[in-house]
C-alpha cells in the first residue's frame, strides 16, 4: 500500500494529525515552512517510532545535515539541491533525492540517481523544494524507475492523489500545500488526506485512537460509557495480577491440581500412517476437566474477579463448554453464576445445559436473533451493563473489549507453551505446522501465541465453512467477513452492506459466531497466520477418522482442525511435523453424531 508523507510540519497540532502517516517532513531549507533543528526535535518527539522523520535540505553543508540527523533525530534526509553522489554517500541514513521534472531530460537525471528514493516534483517557483503545482505524471510513463523507489509530490491533495497512485503506484506520496488552508497546515485536511490514501477503514485512525488494546488496527474498547469504568478497572486489575507471582502461582496450582495439566502431546501413529505425510501430534485439551480448553481461561478470570472483590459471574456460552467451565469454577470458588445461552444452542447441547444446572448455575435462554452465541453475548453484555458494580463478565473467547482478548489469550497460552516444550523434548525441534480451530479463536490464539515469533512454524487457523463458504450458511469470518465493530472490538464480521451483523451457521455450536478475535484478524492482516475453512461434512468425516484411528472422539469444533490437517498433510513430507490442537472432546456432541452419523455402527 502506498505510504504517506506529510511535509512542512511546523506545529504540534499538525504533527499529531500526521501521526497516522508513514513519514513526516521537516523543512530546513529557506521556505515559509522552515524550522530550526531544535523545533524539529521537539515535534519529532511527539511522533510514534514507526513514522519516518525526514529532513528537507537544499544545498546545505554536510555538517548541517549531519547535525540535524543526529539531533532531531532524522531517519531519512531529502535533498532538493545540486548535491553530488559523494555528498549522498556521506549521509548515514536513507536519502531521498528530489527532482523537478519538466521534460524527458529531467527524467533521465532522475533515473541516474544513486539515492535510496527519488522524489518527483513540479518545478519550484520561489524557492527550491516543493512548489505545490501538479506534476504532469505522464512524463514518467517511460521512465525505468522502480516504483518501490519512487516518491511522488507536487500539487497533490485528497482529490487528485488517487490518480497519482493509480497511474504510478509509487512507494510514497508526499503532500504539503494540499493539506493547507490559507497557507497553514489544516489538521482535518491532513487526516482526510491520509485516510484517502489508506482507504476507508480504521487503518488511518488507530494512531489517533488511543493505542491501548489494539492489535495492529484491530481491537479497542468499543463499549457504552456505562461499561468503560468496569473495562478500565479490569484492565488495571489484570495488568497488576499478570505480574504478581502469587496470582500466577494460584492460577497454575488450579491448572495442575484441578484441571489436570499438563496435558499430553500425543503422537498419533495411525493417523500419521493413514495420511502418509508428516508425523502428527495431538495436543490433548480434550483431557482437561470439563472436557475442553475453556477451563484454562475460566479459572484465570474467576481468580481475577475474586481479586477485584466481585463474587458474581455472568458468562455467555455457545456449545456450552465455556458455560460448563464457568459453572464448574464458580461451584469450586463459591461464586454466583448466570450463563446466557441461545435457545438453539440449548436444544443442540442439552447435556451441557444439564451439567451447568447441576453445578448450580442459572442458565438463561436467549430467544432473540439467531438464538445462538452472538445473541448470548448481547444478553450477557446487557446483564453486565446493569449489574456492573458487583459482577464480572467472564467472557469465553478472545473477543470483546480490551483487555479481554489479551487476557483470554494469556490464560490460554498455557496450551502453546506446553506444546512448545513437549515438541522440543520429543523431537528436538519446532514443528513445521500447527493447526487449531477458530470460532472466537481462544484455543487457537492460546496455541499460536508462543509460536508467533518462530517464523519457521506455519500456523493455520480453521474456521467453520458450514454448508460452504459460498452459501449463506457458514461461519467463516476471516475468509468471507468484512471489517466492523461488534461486542466491543474492531474486528472482522459477517455483515450485510448496511452494517447489520448476520447470523453465522455451523454444525458446531462453538464455532457459529459472526465475528472473530481481533488478534486473529491482525495475524491474518500481517500474513503471519493462514485461515482456512472446513465444511460441516468434512468435520463430521474427521470425527469418524480420529475416533477410529486414534480412539479419540473429538468435539465438532476440534474436528475442523483435524479435517484441515489432513489436507495440509497431503503436501508434507515424512520428515516434517504437524501438530493439531484437539481443543475438546466429543461427549457434548453425541446427540449430533448419533443423528448425523446414523447407520455408521
Partner 1 sequence: MKRLENLKDSGDKAFVAYIMAGDGGLDKLRGQVEYLQATGVTAIEIGIPFSDPVADGPVIEEAGNRALAEGVTLNKVLLEMKNWDFDLKIPLIVMTYLNPVIRYGAERFAESCREAGVSAVIIPDLPFEHQQLVEPYLKKTGITLIQLVTLTTTENRLEDILGAAEGFVYAVTVTGITGVRDELTQEVKEFMKTVRSKSPVPVYAGFGISRLEHIELLREDVDGFIVGSAIVKAFHDNKIENIEPLIHAVTQRNPV
Is 229 exposed, middle or buried, given 0-12, 13-18 or 19+ CB atoms closer than 10 A? exposed
Range list of β-strands (E), 33-178: 52-57, 76-79, 94-100, 117-121, 150-152, 172-175
Minimum CB separation of residue 200 from partner 1 in Å reads 5
Query: Which CB sits closer to partner 1, 246 or 389?
Result: 389
Q: Which residues bind partner 1 (CB under 8 A)?
A: 187-188, 191-192, 195, 200, 202, 205, 208-210, 220-230, 232, 368-369, 374, 378, 381-382, 385-389, 482-488, 493, 495, 497-502
Minimum CB separation of residue 215 from partner 1 in Å reads 15
User: Which are the contacts of 104, defined by CB distance < 8 A and separation ≥ 6?
Assistant: 139, 142
Query: Which CB sits closer to partner 1, 195 or 348?
Result: 195
Q: Is 583 a catalytic residue?
A: yes
DSSP string, 472-541: S--B-HHHH-EEEEETEEEEEE-B-TTSPBPPP--SSTTT--SEE-HHHHHHHHTTSEEEEEEEHHHHHH
Q: Which of 5, 100, 583, 588 is catalytic?
A: 583
DSSP 142: T
State whether residue 74 is helix, strand or coil.
coil
How many other β-carbons are positioned within 10 Å of the β-carbon of residue 432? 18
Q: Which of 189, 191, 294, 588 is catalytic?
A: 294
* CA neighbor of 519 nearest in space, from 384, 412, 382: 412
Tell me whether strands 458-466 and 482-486 are parallel, antiparallel or unpaired.
Answer: unpaired
CA dist., res. 292 & res. 286, Å (int): 5
Helix ranges (H only) for 334-441 are: 343-348, 350-358, 373-386, 404-412, 414-427
User: How many degrees, rounded to 5, is the angle at CA 275 between CA 270 and CA 276?
Assistant: 95
Minimum CB separation of residue 189 from partner 1 in Å reads 9
Minimum CB separation of residue 398 from partner 1 in Å reads 19
Query: Which CB sits closer to partner 1, 4 or 271?
Result: 4
User: Which are the contacts of 36, defined by CB distance < 8 A and separation ≥ 6?
Assistant: none
State whether residue 201 is helix, strand or coil.
coil
Minimum CB separation of residue 486 from partner 1 in Å reads 6
Q: In 3-state terms, the chain is what percent helix, strand and coil (to 5)?
A: 45, 20, 35
The residues facing 214 across adjacent strands are 219
Query: Which CB sits closer to partner 1, 224 or 309?
Result: 224
Cβ pair 340, 317 in contact under 8 A: yes
Minimum CB separation of residue 476 from partner 1 in Å reads 19
Query: Which CB sits closer to partner 1, 334 or 497?
Result: 497
Cβ pair 352, 320 in contact under 8 A: yes
Q: Is 225 a catalytic residue?
A: no
Query: Which CB sits closer to partner 1, 487 or 545?
Result: 487
Tell me whether strands 312-317 and 391-393 are parallel, antiparallel or unpaired.
Answer: parallel
CA dist., res. 230 & res. 547, Å (int): 44
Minimum CB separation of residue 19 from partner 1 in Å reads 10
Query: Which CB sits closer to partner 1, 41 or 491?
Result: 491
Minimum CB separation of residue 463 from partner 1 in Å reads 20
Is 433 exposed, middle or buried, given 0-12, 13-18 or 19+ CB atoms closer than 10 A? buried
Q: Is 316 a catalytic residue?
A: yes
Query: Which CB sits closer to partner 1, 124 or 318?
Result: 318
Dihedral sign, Cα of residue 479, residue 481, residue 483, residue 489: negative
Q: Which of 235, 316, 564, 566 is catalytic?
A: 316
Minimum CB separation of residue 399 from partner 1 in Å reads 13
Minimum CB separation of residue 192 from partner 1 in Å reads 7
Query: Which CB sits closer to partner 1, 54 or 388?
Result: 388
CA dist., res. 422 & res. 261, Å (int): 13
CA dist., res. 3 & res. 198, Å (int): 8
Cβ pair 10, 33 in contact under 8 A: yes
CA dist., res. 471 & res. 352, Å (int): 30
Query: Which CB sits closer to partner 1, 191 or 283?
Result: 191
Catalytic residues: 294, 316, 583
Amino acid at each position: 500500500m502506498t505510504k504517506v508523507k506529510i511535509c512542512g510540519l511546523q506545529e504540534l497540532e499538525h504533527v499529531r494529525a500526521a501521526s497516522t502517516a508513514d513519514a513526516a517532513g521537516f523543512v530546513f531549507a529557506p521556505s515559509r515552512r522552515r524550522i530550526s533543528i531544535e523545533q524539529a526535535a521537539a515535534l519529532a518527539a511527539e511522533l510514534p517510532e514507526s513514522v519516518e522523520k525526514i529532513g528537507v535540505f537544499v544545498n546545505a553543508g554536510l555538517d548541517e545535515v549531519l547535525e540535524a540527523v543526529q539531533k532531531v533525530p532524522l531517519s531519512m534526509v531529502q535533498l532538493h539541491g545540486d548535491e553530488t553522489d559523494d555528498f549522498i554517500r556521506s549521509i548515514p541514513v536513507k536519502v531521498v533525492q528530489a527532482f523537478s521534472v519538466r521534460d524527458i531530460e529531467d527524467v533521465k537525471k532522475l533515473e541516474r540517481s544513486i539515492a535510496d528514493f527519488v522524489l518527483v516534483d513540479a518545478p519550484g517557483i520561489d524557492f527550491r523544494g516543493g512548489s505545490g503545482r501538479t506534476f504532469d505524471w505522464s512524463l514518467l510513463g517511460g521512465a525505468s524507475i522502480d516504483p518501490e523507489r519512487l516518491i511522488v509530490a507536487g500539487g497533490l491533495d485528497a482529490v487528485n492523489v488517487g490518480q497519482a497512485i493509480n497511474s504510478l503506484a509509487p512507494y510514497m506520496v508526499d503532500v504539503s500545500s494540499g493539506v493547507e488552508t490559507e497557507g497553514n497546515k489544516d489538521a482535518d485536511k491532513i487526516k482526510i488526506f491520509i485516510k484517502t490514501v489508506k482507504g476507508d477503514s480504521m487503518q488511518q485512525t488507530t494512531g489517533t485512537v488511543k493505542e491501548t488494546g489494539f492489535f495492529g488496527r484491530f481491537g479497542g474498547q468499543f463499549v457504552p460509557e456505562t461499561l468503560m469504568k468496569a473495562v478500565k478497572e479490569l484492565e488495571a486489575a489484570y495488568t497488576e495480577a499478570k505480574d504478581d507471582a502469587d496470582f500466577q502461582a494460584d492460577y497454575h496450582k488450579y491448572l495442575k491440581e484441578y484441571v489436570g495439566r499438563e496435558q499430553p502431546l500425543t503422537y498419533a501413529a495411525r493417523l500419521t500412517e493413514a495420511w502418509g505425510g508428516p508425523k502428527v501430534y495431538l495436543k490433548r485439551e480434550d483431557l482437561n476437566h470439563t472436557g475442553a480448553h475453556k477451563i484454562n481461561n475460566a479459572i484465570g478470570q474467576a481468580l481475577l474477579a475474586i481479586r477485584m472483590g466481585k463474587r458474581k459471574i455472568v458468562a455467555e456460552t455457545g456449545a456450552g463448554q465455556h458455560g460448563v467451565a464457568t459453572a464448574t469454577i464458580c461451584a469450586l470458588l463459591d461464586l454466583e453464576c448466570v450463563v446466557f445461552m441461545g435457545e438453539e444452542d440449548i436444544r443442540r447441547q442439552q447435556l451441557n445445559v444439564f451439567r451447568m444446572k447441576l453445578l448450580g448455575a442459572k442458565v438463561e435462554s436467549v430467544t432473540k436473533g439467531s438464538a445462538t452465541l452472538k445473541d448470548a453475548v448481547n444478553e450477557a453484555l446487557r446483564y453486565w451493563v446493569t449489574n456492573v458494580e458487583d459482577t464480572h463478565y467472564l467472557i469465553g473467547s478472545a473477543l470483546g473489549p480490551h483487555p479481554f482478548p489479551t487476557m483470554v489469550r494469556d490464560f490460554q497460552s498455557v496450551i502453546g507453551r506446553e506444546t512448545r516444550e513437549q515438541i522440543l523434548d520429543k523431537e528436538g525441534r519446532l514443528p513445521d505446522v500447527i493447526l487449531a480451530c477458530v470460532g472466537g479463536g481462544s484455543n487457537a490464539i492460546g496455541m499460536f501465541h508462543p509460536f508467533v515469533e518462530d517464523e519457521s512454524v506455519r500456523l493455520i487457523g480453521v474456521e467453520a465453512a458450514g454448508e460452504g463458504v459460498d452459501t449463506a450458511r457458514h461461519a467463516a469470518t476471516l475468509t468471507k467477513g468484512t471489517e466492523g465493530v461488534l461486542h466491543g472490538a474492531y474486528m472482522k464480521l459477517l455483515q450485510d452492506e448496511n452494517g447489520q451483523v448476520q447470523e453465522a451457521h455451523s454444525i458446531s455450536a462453538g464455532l457459529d459466531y459472526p465475528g472473530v478475535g481481533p488478534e486473529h484478524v491482525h495475524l491474518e492482516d500481517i500474513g503471519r497466520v493462514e485461515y482456512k475453512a472446513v465444511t460441516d461434512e468434512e468435520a463430521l468425516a474427521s470425527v469418524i477418522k480420529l475416533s477410529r484411528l486414534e480412539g479419540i472422539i473429538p468435539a465438532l469444533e476440534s474436528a475442523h482442525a483435524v479435517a484441515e490437517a489432513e489436507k495440509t498433510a497431503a503436501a508434507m513430507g515424512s520428515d516434517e511435523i504437524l501438530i493439531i490442537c484437539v481443543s475438546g472432546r466429543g461427549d457434548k456432541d453425541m446427540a449430533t453424531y448419533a443423528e448425523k452419523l446414523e447407520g455408521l455402527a
